[in-house]
Amino acid sequence: MVQELAGDNLSEIIKKEEKVVAQFILSWDDNCQAVNQDFIKIATEFSDVTFITVDIEKNPESSKLITAEVYPSTTFFVGGNVKAQTRTKKIDALREFITENN
């Protein structure tokens, strides 16, 4: 299951949950929406990871946790810290990214 960040509190979530994969998107962007649908599908394959979608315009403080200029951008956090980041738009590459960092 993928949660949509609603409280601009990603920093609290990544401190509380051991492993978090966050996809940073622009809600109005068609590419972001398409990749987010793949993100939602992939989330069902990893029961030990928390998946979150972060709309960067609605969650400006949470967006400061990463360095990205292109969206969507997917970040894997472990123990409250960034472990890895990718900007891939391909479902197989996104799955591989999560598998390698899990």
What confidence score (pLDDT) does residue 68 get?
83
What confidence score (pLDDT) does residue 80 get?
95
SS3 state of residue 95: helix
Q: What is the pTM of this model?
A: 0.94
pLDDT at 1 over 90: no
Domain 2-90 class, CATH top level: alpha beta
What confidence score (pLDDT) does residue 67 get?
86
Q: How would residue 24 be classed by pLDDT, with cut points 50, 70 and 90?
A: very high
